[in-house]
Chain A
Amino acid sequence: MVTERAREFDTQDLLINVGPQHPSTHGVFRMVLEVDGELVKDVIPYIGYLHRGAEKLCETMDYRQGIGFMDRTEYLAAFNAELSYVMAVEELAGLEVPERAQWIRMILCELNRLSSHFMFLGAFGVDTGVMGTPFIYGWREREMLIDLFEEISGDRMMYAYFRPGGLAWDVTRNFKERVREVIKSSAQGIKDFDGLFTENEIFVARTKGIGYISAEDAIDYGMSGPSIRASGVPLDVRRDEPYLKYSEVDFQVVTGQHGDVFDRYACRLQEMRESIKIIEQCLDKMADTGPIMPEKMPRMLRTPPGEVYMRTEAPRGEYGIYLVSNGGNRPYRLKVRSACLSNLQALKQMSVGLYVADAILVLGSIDIVLSEVDR
Protein backbone atom coordinates (compact mmCIF):
# COMPACT_ATOMS: atom_id res chain seq x y z
CA MET A 1 0.00 0.00 0.00
CA VAL A 2 2.72 2.39 0.97
CA THR A 3 4.75 1.64 -2.11
CA GLU A 4 1.73 2.04 -4.34
CA ARG A 5 0.98 5.43 -2.88
CA ALA A 6 4.60 6.37 -3.30
CA ARG A 7 4.48 5.40 -6.93
CA GLU A 8 1.36 7.41 -7.43
CA PHE A 9 3.06 10.54 -6.21
CA ASP A 10 6.44 9.89 -7.73
CA THR A 11 7.35 12.41 -10.32
CA GLN A 12 8.11 11.02 -13.72
CA ASP A 13 10.46 12.29 -16.32
CA LEU A 14 8.68 13.86 -19.21
CA LEU A 15 9.82 13.16 -22.74
CA ILE A 16 9.41 16.22 -24.90
CA ASN A 17 9.66 15.95 -28.62
CA VAL A 18 11.26 19.03 -30.08
CA GLY A 19 10.96 18.71 -33.80
CA PRO A 20 10.79 17.82 -36.60
CA GLN A 21 7.99 20.38 -36.76
CA HIS A 22 8.75 22.79 -33.99
CA PRO A 23 9.17 26.54 -34.33
CA SER A 24 12.77 26.54 -33.18
CA THR A 25 14.48 23.56 -34.74
CA HIS A 26 15.85 25.47 -37.74
CA GLY A 27 14.74 22.95 -40.27
CA VAL A 28 13.79 19.35 -39.79
CA PHE A 29 15.84 18.44 -36.78
CA ARG A 30 14.32 16.38 -34.03
CA MET A 31 15.52 16.03 -30.49
CA VAL A 32 13.82 14.27 -27.65
CA LEU A 33 14.36 16.05 -24.37
CA GLU A 34 14.01 14.06 -21.20
CA VAL A 35 13.04 16.61 -18.62
CA ASP A 36 12.55 16.50 -14.91
CA GLY A 37 10.34 19.47 -14.18
CA GLU A 38 12.09 22.04 -16.32
CA LEU A 39 15.57 20.56 -16.20
CA VAL A 40 16.92 18.67 -19.17
CA LYS A 41 18.26 15.28 -18.12
CA ASP A 42 18.98 13.82 -21.50
CA VAL A 43 19.00 14.88 -25.12
CA ILE A 44 18.56 12.40 -27.94
CA PRO A 45 19.06 14.01 -31.35
CA TYR A 46 17.64 12.50 -34.49
CA ILE A 47 18.81 13.63 -37.90
CA GLY A 48 18.38 12.40 -41.43
CA TYR A 49 15.07 13.97 -42.34
CA LEU A 50 16.76 15.88 -45.14
CA HIS A 51 19.07 13.16 -46.39
CA ARG A 52 19.10 13.27 -50.18
CA GLY A 53 22.20 11.29 -51.00
CA ALA A 54 24.08 14.16 -52.60
CA GLU A 55 27.32 12.22 -52.29
CA LYS A 56 25.99 9.28 -54.23
CA LEU A 57 24.42 11.53 -56.84
CA CYS A 58 27.67 13.37 -57.43
CA GLU A 59 29.40 10.09 -58.22
CA THR A 60 27.25 9.92 -61.33
CA MET A 61 27.79 13.52 -62.42
CA ASP A 62 30.71 15.14 -64.11
CA TYR A 63 32.50 17.87 -62.25
CA ARG A 64 30.47 20.74 -63.61
CA GLN A 65 27.18 19.05 -62.93
CA GLY A 66 28.13 18.44 -59.32
CA ILE A 67 28.33 22.13 -58.52
CA GLY A 68 24.59 22.51 -58.38
CA PHE A 69 24.35 19.71 -55.85
CA MET A 70 27.00 21.28 -53.65
CA ASP A 71 24.92 24.46 -53.55
CA ARG A 72 22.10 22.47 -52.12
CA THR A 73 24.08 20.89 -49.35
CA GLU A 74 24.67 24.22 -47.70
CA TYR A 75 21.95 26.51 -48.85
CA LEU A 76 22.73 29.41 -46.57
CA ALA A 77 26.31 29.70 -47.72
CA ALA A 78 26.29 28.17 -51.17
CA PHE A 79 29.31 30.11 -52.40
CA ASN A 80 31.41 28.59 -49.65
CA ALA A 81 30.19 25.11 -50.45
CA GLU A 82 30.85 25.55 -54.15
CA LEU A 83 34.26 26.95 -53.42
CA SER A 84 35.29 23.89 -51.49
CA TYR A 85 34.14 21.63 -54.27
CA VAL A 86 35.70 23.48 -57.19
CA MET A 87 38.94 23.92 -55.29
CA ALA A 88 39.09 20.21 -54.64
CA VAL A 89 38.70 19.61 -58.36
CA GLU A 90 41.31 22.23 -59.16
CA GLU A 91 43.76 20.65 -56.72
CA LEU A 92 43.31 17.30 -58.37
CA ALA A 93 43.38 18.57 -61.94
CA GLY A 94 46.20 21.00 -61.24
CA LEU A 95 44.38 24.02 -62.56
CA GLU A 96 45.76 27.50 -61.96
CA VAL A 97 43.03 29.98 -61.15
CA PRO A 98 43.56 33.54 -62.43
CA GLU A 99 44.22 36.04 -59.71
CA ARG A 100 41.18 38.17 -60.35
CA ALA A 101 38.88 35.18 -60.10
CA GLN A 102 40.39 34.38 -56.73
CA TRP A 103 39.69 37.87 -55.43
CA ILE A 104 36.11 37.71 -56.67
CA ARG A 105 35.63 34.31 -55.08
CA MET A 106 36.97 35.61 -51.83
CA ILE A 107 34.68 38.65 -51.82
CA LEU A 108 31.66 36.53 -52.60
CA CYS A 109 32.50 33.98 -49.93
CA GLU A 110 32.91 36.65 -47.30
CA LEU A 111 29.67 38.30 -48.36
CA ASN A 112 28.04 34.92 -48.11
CA ARG A 113 29.43 34.57 -44.62
CA LEU A 114 27.80 37.88 -43.76
CA SER A 115 24.47 36.79 -45.14
CA SER A 116 24.64 33.47 -43.34
CA HIS A 117 25.49 35.11 -40.03
CA PHE A 118 22.65 37.57 -40.47
CA MET A 119 20.39 34.60 -40.83
CA PHE A 120 21.86 33.17 -37.64
CA LEU A 121 21.37 36.39 -35.72
CA GLY A 122 17.79 36.62 -36.87
CA ALA A 123 16.85 33.06 -36.05
CA PHE A 124 18.74 33.08 -32.79
CA GLY A 125 17.08 36.32 -31.78
CA VAL A 126 13.70 34.76 -32.35
CA ASP A 127 14.79 31.79 -30.25
CA THR A 128 15.53 34.11 -27.37
CA GLY A 129 11.98 35.33 -27.64
CA VAL A 130 11.97 38.70 -29.34
CA MET A 131 8.87 38.89 -31.43
CA GLY A 132 10.16 38.89 -34.99
CA THR A 133 12.29 42.02 -34.82
CA PRO A 134 15.72 40.39 -35.17
CA PHE A 135 14.41 38.16 -37.91
CA ILE A 136 13.35 41.14 -39.97
CA TYR A 137 16.61 42.94 -39.24
CA GLY A 138 18.51 39.89 -40.40
CA TRP A 139 16.43 39.45 -43.50
CA ARG A 140 16.65 43.14 -44.33
CA GLU A 141 20.43 42.94 -44.63
CA ARG A 142 20.38 39.47 -46.14
CA GLU A 143 18.06 40.74 -48.82
CA MET A 144 20.59 43.39 -49.83
CA LEU A 145 23.30 40.75 -50.07
CA ILE A 146 21.09 38.32 -51.94
CA ASP A 147 20.11 41.00 -54.42
CA LEU A 148 23.79 41.52 -55.11
CA PHE A 149 24.34 37.79 -55.55
CA GLU A 150 21.44 37.69 -57.93
CA GLU A 151 22.87 40.49 -60.01
CA ILE A 152 26.19 38.67 -60.29
CA SER A 153 25.31 35.01 -60.48
CA GLY A 154 21.68 35.14 -61.50
CA ASP A 155 20.29 33.22 -58.57
CA ARG A 156 19.43 34.12 -55.04
CA MET A 157 20.46 30.98 -53.21
CA MET A 158 21.77 28.30 -55.56
CA TYR A 159 24.38 30.28 -57.37
CA ALA A 160 26.22 27.68 -59.49
CA TYR A 161 28.72 30.42 -60.21
CA PHE A 162 32.14 29.01 -59.36
CA ARG A 163 33.57 26.61 -61.88
CA PRO A 164 36.70 24.49 -61.75
CA GLY A 165 39.31 26.94 -63.02
CA GLY A 166 37.54 30.15 -62.23
CA LEU A 167 34.12 31.64 -62.54
CA ALA A 168 31.22 30.94 -64.83
CA TRP A 169 31.16 34.49 -66.13
CA ASP A 170 32.49 37.84 -65.11
CA VAL A 171 30.97 40.03 -62.47
CA THR A 172 28.89 43.03 -63.39
CA ARG A 173 30.62 46.26 -64.35
CA ASN A 174 29.57 48.16 -61.23
CA PHE A 175 30.62 45.29 -58.99
CA LYS A 176 32.91 47.25 -56.70
CA GLU A 177 30.45 50.07 -56.09
CA ARG A 178 27.67 47.63 -55.41
CA VAL A 179 29.75 45.65 -52.92
CA ARG A 180 30.75 48.84 -51.13
CA GLU A 181 27.13 49.87 -50.98
CA VAL A 182 26.06 46.51 -49.59
CA ILE A 183 28.74 46.25 -46.92
CA LYS A 184 27.82 49.73 -45.78
CA SER A 185 24.28 48.58 -45.23
CA SER A 186 25.54 45.41 -43.57
CA ALA A 187 27.58 47.50 -41.17
CA GLN A 188 24.37 49.27 -40.22
CA GLY A 189 22.70 45.92 -39.71
CA ILE A 190 25.50 44.77 -37.42
CA LYS A 191 25.08 47.99 -35.48
CA ASP A 192 21.38 47.36 -35.11
CA PHE A 193 21.94 43.87 -33.79
CA ASP A 194 24.62 45.14 -31.49
CA GLY A 195 22.22 47.67 -30.08
CA LEU A 196 19.37 45.22 -29.83
CA PHE A 197 21.23 42.45 -28.04
CA THR A 198 24.78 42.85 -26.87
CA GLU A 199 24.11 44.89 -23.76
CA ASN A 200 20.50 44.00 -23.22
CA GLU A 201 20.28 42.73 -19.63
CA ILE A 202 17.65 40.14 -20.40
CA PHE A 203 19.61 38.80 -23.35
CA VAL A 204 22.78 38.72 -21.29
CA ALA A 205 21.03 36.96 -18.43
CA ARG A 206 19.60 34.43 -20.82
CA THR A 207 22.79 33.62 -22.71
CA LYS A 208 25.77 34.06 -20.43
CA GLY A 209 26.97 30.98 -18.64
CA ILE A 210 24.78 28.45 -20.42
CA GLY A 211 25.67 25.89 -23.06
CA TYR A 212 29.24 25.72 -21.87
CA ILE A 213 31.74 23.52 -23.64
CA SER A 214 35.41 23.47 -22.82
CA ALA A 215 38.15 23.83 -25.40
CA GLU A 216 39.28 20.23 -24.92
CA ASP A 217 35.78 18.85 -25.36
CA ALA A 218 35.18 21.01 -28.40
CA ILE A 219 38.35 19.71 -30.05
CA ASP A 220 37.48 16.18 -29.06
CA TYR A 221 34.09 16.46 -30.71
CA GLY A 222 35.63 17.91 -33.84
CA MET A 223 33.69 21.15 -33.61
CA SER A 224 34.72 23.98 -35.87
CA GLY A 225 33.87 27.49 -36.89
CA PRO A 226 32.59 30.12 -34.48
CA SER A 227 31.27 27.37 -32.22
CA ILE A 228 34.76 26.17 -31.34
CA ARG A 229 36.35 29.62 -31.48
CA ALA A 230 33.93 30.76 -28.76
CA SER A 231 35.57 28.17 -26.52
CA GLY A 232 38.92 29.86 -27.07
CA VAL A 233 40.40 27.59 -29.74
CA PRO A 234 41.73 29.77 -32.58
CA LEU A 235 40.91 27.26 -35.26
CA ASP A 236 40.38 28.94 -38.60
CA VAL A 237 41.28 27.35 -41.91
CA ARG A 238 41.52 30.77 -43.51
CA ARG A 239 44.50 31.59 -41.35
CA ASP A 240 46.03 28.18 -40.64
CA GLU A 241 46.02 26.82 -44.18
CA PRO A 242 45.39 29.87 -46.33
CA TYR A 243 43.56 29.28 -49.56
CA LEU A 244 42.60 31.85 -52.20
CA LYS A 245 44.30 35.08 -51.17
CA TYR A 246 43.68 34.93 -47.46
CA SER A 247 47.40 35.13 -46.76
CA GLU A 248 47.47 38.56 -48.38
CA VAL A 249 44.76 40.18 -46.33
CA ASP A 250 44.89 41.24 -42.75
CA PHE A 251 42.22 39.91 -40.44
CA GLN A 252 41.81 38.58 -36.94
CA VAL A 253 40.59 35.21 -35.85
CA VAL A 254 37.89 36.05 -33.33
CA THR A 255 37.90 33.86 -30.27
CA GLY A 256 35.84 33.88 -27.13
CA GLN A 257 36.86 32.90 -23.64
CA HIS A 258 33.90 31.31 -21.98
CA GLY A 259 32.56 28.85 -24.53
CA ASP A 260 28.98 29.71 -23.72
CA VAL A 261 26.03 30.79 -25.80
CA PHE A 262 26.77 34.46 -25.44
CA ASP A 263 30.32 33.99 -26.68
CA ARG A 264 29.13 32.09 -29.70
CA TYR A 265 26.81 34.97 -30.47
CA ALA A 266 29.49 37.59 -29.83
CA CYS A 267 32.07 35.70 -31.90
CA ARG A 268 29.78 35.68 -34.91
CA LEU A 269 28.98 39.34 -34.53
CA GLN A 270 32.66 40.24 -34.36
CA GLU A 271 33.46 37.88 -37.19
CA MET A 272 31.08 39.80 -39.39
CA ARG A 273 33.02 42.98 -38.74
CA GLU A 274 36.20 41.13 -39.69
CA SER A 275 34.53 39.93 -42.87
CA ILE A 276 33.73 43.48 -43.82
CA LYS A 277 37.37 44.38 -43.26
CA ILE A 278 38.46 41.51 -45.50
CA ILE A 279 36.06 42.56 -48.23
CA GLU A 280 37.33 46.12 -48.14
CA GLN A 281 40.91 44.93 -48.53
CA CYS A 282 39.92 42.64 -51.37
CA LEU A 283 38.19 45.47 -53.19
CA ASP A 284 41.33 47.58 -52.92
CA LYS A 285 43.61 44.84 -54.16
CA MET A 286 41.43 43.43 -56.91
CA ALA A 287 42.05 44.42 -60.51
CA ASP A 288 39.16 45.95 -62.42
CA THR A 289 39.59 43.78 -65.46
CA GLY A 290 41.39 40.61 -66.23
CA PRO A 291 40.83 36.97 -67.06
CA ILE A 292 38.63 34.88 -64.83
CA MET A 293 39.32 31.52 -66.37
CA PRO A 294 42.56 29.82 -67.40
CA GLU A 295 43.32 30.35 -71.06
CA LYS A 296 43.16 26.70 -71.99
CA MET A 297 40.32 24.83 -70.47
CA PRO A 298 39.40 21.36 -71.68
CA ARG A 299 35.87 21.02 -72.87
CA MET A 300 35.31 18.12 -70.55
CA LEU A 301 37.41 18.27 -67.41
CA ARG A 302 39.16 15.08 -66.41
CA THR A 303 41.27 14.58 -63.33
CA PRO A 304 44.21 12.24 -62.84
CA PRO A 305 43.72 9.47 -60.29
CA GLY A 306 44.27 10.64 -56.77
CA GLU A 307 42.50 12.04 -53.83
CA VAL A 308 42.33 15.32 -52.01
CA TYR A 309 40.71 16.54 -48.86
CA MET A 310 39.97 20.21 -49.50
CA ARG A 311 38.84 22.25 -46.55
CA THR A 312 37.59 25.78 -46.39
CA GLU A 313 36.17 27.91 -43.67
CA ALA A 314 32.44 28.16 -44.25
CA PRO A 315 30.31 30.32 -41.95
CA ARG A 316 29.41 27.37 -39.78
CA GLY A 317 32.86 25.88 -39.64
CA GLU A 318 35.14 23.69 -41.65
CA TYR A 319 33.45 22.57 -44.83
CA GLY A 320 35.51 19.77 -46.27
CA ILE A 321 35.31 17.97 -49.56
CA TYR A 322 37.03 14.62 -49.77
CA LEU A 323 37.31 13.92 -53.46
CA VAL A 324 38.62 10.64 -54.80
CA SER A 325 39.16 10.33 -58.51
CA ASN A 326 40.07 7.31 -60.56
CA GLY A 327 40.91 9.31 -63.64
CA GLY A 328 37.51 9.95 -65.11
CA ASN A 329 35.45 13.05 -65.57
CA ARG A 330 33.47 12.39 -62.43
CA PRO A 331 34.29 11.77 -58.79
CA TYR A 332 34.84 8.19 -57.78
CA ARG A 333 33.87 9.07 -54.25
CA LEU A 334 32.82 12.37 -52.81
CA LYS A 335 32.47 12.92 -49.11
CA VAL A 336 31.18 16.16 -47.70
CA ARG A 337 32.58 16.88 -44.29
CA SER A 338 29.84 18.86 -42.65
CA ALA A 339 30.71 21.30 -39.92
CA CYS A 340 27.23 21.18 -38.46
CA LEU A 341 27.26 17.42 -38.08
CA SER A 342 30.28 17.58 -35.83
CA ASN A 343 29.02 20.62 -33.97
CA LEU A 344 25.69 18.97 -33.39
CA GLN A 345 27.34 16.02 -31.70
CA ALA A 346 28.26 18.25 -28.80
CA LEU A 347 24.66 19.31 -28.28
CA LYS A 348 24.08 16.78 -25.54
CA GLN A 349 27.23 17.73 -23.72
CA MET A 350 26.21 21.36 -23.85
CA SER A 351 22.58 21.15 -22.88
CA VAL A 352 22.23 18.47 -20.24
CA GLY A 353 21.49 20.04 -16.89
CA LEU A 354 20.02 23.22 -18.30
CA TYR A 355 16.46 24.42 -18.50
CA VAL A 356 14.30 23.55 -21.48
CA ALA A 357 14.39 27.13 -22.69
CA ASP A 358 18.19 27.07 -22.55
CA ALA A 359 18.41 23.88 -24.56
CA ILE A 360 16.58 25.68 -27.35
CA LEU A 361 19.08 28.52 -27.16
CA VAL A 362 22.02 26.12 -27.21
CA LEU A 363 20.65 24.50 -30.33
CA GLY A 364 20.18 27.92 -31.88
CA SER A 365 23.67 29.04 -30.91
CA ILE A 366 25.47 26.32 -32.86
CA ASP A 367 23.66 27.53 -35.96
CA ILE A 368 22.84 24.32 -37.74
CA VAL A 369 21.75 23.98 -41.33
CA LEU A 370 20.05 20.65 -41.63
CA SER A 371 20.68 20.25 -45.32
CA GLU A 372 24.36 20.33 -44.53
CA VAL A 373 24.05 17.88 -41.66
CA ASP A 374 22.07 15.36 -43.67
CA ARG A 375 23.36 16.10 -47.17
Chain B
Amino acid sequence: MPAADLLLSNYVAVLLATIVGFILVLTALIAARLLAPYSQETGKSTTYECGMVPLRRASTNVGMRFYLYAILFVIFDVEAVFIFPWALTFVEVGQFAYWLMVAFIAILALGLGYAWKKGALQWR
Protein backbone atom coordinates (compact mmCIF):
# COMPACT_ATOMS: atom_id res chain seq x y z
CA MET B 1 0.00 0.00 0.00
CA PRO B 2 1.45 3.41 -0.93
CA ALA B 3 2.33 5.73 1.91
CA ALA B 4 -0.20 8.34 0.86
CA ASP B 5 -2.96 5.77 1.01
CA LEU B 6 -1.86 4.69 4.45
CA LEU B 7 -1.90 8.27 5.61
CA LEU B 8 -5.36 8.81 4.22
CA SER B 9 -6.69 5.55 5.53
CA ASN B 10 -5.76 6.71 9.00
CA TYR B 11 -7.99 9.72 8.61
CA VAL B 12 -10.92 7.53 7.65
CA ALA B 13 -11.44 7.09 11.36
CA VAL B 14 -11.66 10.85 11.86
CA LEU B 15 -14.45 11.14 9.34
CA LEU B 16 -16.24 8.16 10.81
CA ALA B 17 -15.84 9.53 14.33
CA THR B 18 -17.62 12.70 13.31
CA ILE B 19 -20.49 10.72 11.88
CA VAL B 20 -20.69 8.33 14.81
CA GLY B 21 -20.60 11.20 17.26
CA PHE B 22 -23.43 12.91 15.42
CA ILE B 23 -25.48 9.73 15.36
CA LEU B 24 -24.83 9.20 19.04
CA VAL B 25 -26.24 12.57 20.04
CA LEU B 26 -29.08 12.24 17.59
CA THR B 27 -30.10 8.84 18.95
CA ALA B 28 -30.09 10.18 22.47
CA LEU B 29 -32.25 13.12 21.48
CA ILE B 30 -34.66 10.90 19.56
CA ALA B 31 -34.83 8.48 22.48
CA ALA B 32 -35.67 11.35 24.77
CA ARG B 33 -38.29 12.61 22.33
CA LEU B 34 -39.91 9.18 22.39
CA LEU B 35 -39.58 8.44 26.07
CA ALA B 36 -39.79 11.79 27.81
CA PRO B 37 -43.11 13.33 28.72
CA TYR B 38 -44.03 16.53 26.99
CA SER B 39 -46.61 19.00 28.11
CA GLN B 40 -47.73 22.27 26.68
CA GLU B 41 -47.41 24.59 29.59
CA THR B 42 -46.34 28.16 29.06
CA GLY B 43 -44.80 28.63 32.47
CA LYS B 44 -42.17 26.02 31.81
CA SER B 45 -40.83 27.68 28.73
CA THR B 46 -39.97 31.00 30.33
CA THR B 47 -36.34 31.79 30.82
CA TYR B 48 -34.88 31.10 34.25
CA GLU B 49 -34.41 34.40 35.93
CA CYS B 50 -34.20 33.48 39.61
CA GLY B 51 -37.93 33.09 39.81
CA MET B 52 -38.73 36.52 38.46
CA VAL B 53 -40.29 37.42 35.15
CA PRO B 54 -37.39 38.08 32.76
CA LEU B 55 -36.49 41.74 32.76
CA ARG B 56 -35.77 42.01 29.04
CA ARG B 57 -34.15 39.93 26.35
CA ALA B 58 -30.70 38.80 27.31
CA SER B 59 -29.08 39.09 23.92
CA THR B 60 -28.05 42.69 24.22
CA ASN B 61 -24.67 44.04 23.28
CA VAL B 62 -22.53 43.23 26.23
CA GLY B 63 -19.24 44.96 26.67
CA MET B 64 -16.89 42.15 27.49
CA ARG B 65 -13.21 42.87 27.00
CA PHE B 66 -13.30 39.83 24.88
CA TYR B 67 -12.23 40.95 21.47
CA LEU B 68 -8.78 42.04 22.60
CA TYR B 69 -8.19 38.55 23.89
CA ALA B 70 -9.57 37.10 20.70
CA ILE B 71 -7.09 39.11 18.64
CA LEU B 72 -4.21 38.22 20.92
CA PHE B 73 -5.26 34.62 20.70
CA VAL B 74 -5.30 34.63 16.93
CA ILE B 75 -1.81 36.10 16.85
CA PHE B 76 -0.39 33.57 19.23
CA ASP B 77 -2.25 30.68 17.71
CA VAL B 78 -0.69 31.48 14.34
CA GLU B 79 2.61 31.43 16.15
CA ALA B 80 1.77 28.01 17.53
CA VAL B 81 1.00 26.84 14.02
CA PHE B 82 4.46 27.95 12.95
CA ILE B 83 6.13 26.41 15.95
CA PHE B 84 4.66 22.97 15.36
CA PRO B 85 6.54 22.12 12.13
CA TRP B 86 9.60 23.93 13.43
CA ALA B 87 9.57 21.91 16.62
CA LEU B 88 9.93 18.68 14.71
CA THR B 89 12.69 19.76 12.36
CA PHE B 90 14.80 22.47 13.94
CA VAL B 91 17.40 20.05 15.30
CA GLU B 92 18.23 18.88 11.82
CA VAL B 93 18.25 22.38 10.32
CA GLY B 94 20.51 23.63 13.06
CA GLN B 95 21.39 26.85 14.84
CA PHE B 96 20.03 29.13 12.15
CA ALA B 97 16.48 27.79 12.46
CA TYR B 98 16.66 28.07 16.22
CA TRP B 99 17.71 31.68 16.29
CA LEU B 100 15.14 32.56 13.68
CA MET B 101 12.44 31.21 15.99
CA VAL B 102 13.98 33.08 18.91
CA ALA B 103 13.65 36.27 16.92
CA PHE B 104 10.08 35.38 15.97
CA ILE B 105 9.04 34.65 19.55
CA ALA B 106 10.87 37.74 20.78
CA ILE B 107 8.86 39.93 18.44
CA LEU B 108 5.63 38.36 19.67
CA ALA B 109 6.75 38.65 23.26
CA LEU B 110 7.35 42.33 22.65
CA GLY B 111 3.80 42.57 21.39
CA LEU B 112 2.52 40.77 24.46
CA GLY B 113 4.53 43.07 26.67
CA TYR B 114 3.08 46.07 24.89
CA ALA B 115 -0.46 44.77 25.31
CA TRP B 116 0.29 44.06 28.97
CA LYS B 117 1.60 47.54 29.53
CA LYS B 118 -1.37 49.07 27.72
CA GLY B 119 -3.67 47.23 30.10
CA ALA B 120 -5.24 45.06 27.44
CA LEU B 121 -4.76 42.05 29.68
CA GLN B 122 -6.94 43.59 32.39
CA TRP B 123 -10.29 41.84 32.11
CA ARG B 124 -13.18 44.08 32.92
Contact = CB atoms under 8 A, between A and B. Distances in A.
Interface of A: 8-12, 14-15, 17-22, 30, 32, 36-39
24 contacts: A9-B61, A10-B61, A11-B63, A12-B60, A14-B58, A15-B56, A17-B49, A17-B50, A17-B52, A17-B55, A18-B50, A19-B50, A19-B51, A20-B50, A20-B52, A21-B50, A22-B50, A30-B50, A32-B55, A37-B62, A37-B65, A38-B64, A38-B123, A38-B124
A22 B50 CA distance: 6
Contacts of A19: 50-51
Give the interface size class of chain B: 10 to 19
Nearest to B53: A17
A15 B50 CA distance: 12
Interface string B21-59: 000000000000000000000000000011110011010
Contacts of A37: 62-65, 124
Contacts of B55: 15, 17, 32
Given A37-B124, A38-B123, A14 B62 contact: yes
A15 B54 CA distance: 10
Contacts of A18: 50
B121 to A, nearest CB: 15
A121 B63 CA distance: 34
A338 to B, nearest CB: 23
Interface centre among B58, B62, B123 (most CB of A within 10 A): B62
Nearest to A28: B51
Interface of B: 49-52, 55-56, 58, 60-65, 123-124
A123 B24 CA distance: 40
Contacts of A8: 61
* CB-based closest 9 A-B pairs: A11-B63, A21-B51, A12-B60, A37-B63, A17-B50, A22-B50, A15-B55, A11-B61, A37-B64
Contacts of B65: 37
Contact of B62 (A11, A22, A30): A11
Nearest to A35: B62
Contacts of B61: 8-12
Nearest to A39: B124
B56 A30 contact: no
A37 B55 CA distance: 17
A32 B53 CA distance: 13
Contacts of A11: 61-63
Contacts of A36: 63
A15 B62 CA distance: 11
A358 B60 CA distance: 23
Given A11-B62, A11-B63, A19-B50, 18 more contacts: A8-B61, A10-B61, A12-B60, A12-B62, A14-B58, A15-B55, A17-B49, A17-B50, A17-B52, A19-B51, A21-B50, A32-B55, A36-B63, A37-B62, A37-B64, A37-B124, A38-B64, A38-B123
A15 B55 CA distance: 8
Contacts of B62: 11-12, 14, 37
Interface centre among B50, B58, B64 (most CB of A within 10 A): B50
Contacts of B124: 37-39
Contacts of A20: 50-52
Nearest to B48: A21
A44 to B, nearest CB: 11
Nearest to B60: A12
Contacts of A17: 49-50, 52, 55
A8 B50 CA distance: 28
A36 B49 CA distance: 18
B122 to A, nearest CB: 11
A8 B60 CA distance: 10
Nearest to B49: A17
B76 to A, nearest CB: 23
A307 to B, nearest CB: 40
A12 B49 CA distance: 19
A259 to B, nearest CB: 24
Contacts of B63: 11, 36-37
Contacts of B64: 37-38
A14 B63 CA distance: 9
A10 B62 CA distance: 8
B58 to A, nearest CB: 8
Nearest to A15: B55
A13 to B, nearest CB: 8
A36 B62 CA distance: 7
Nearest to B61: A11
A8 B52 CA distance: 28
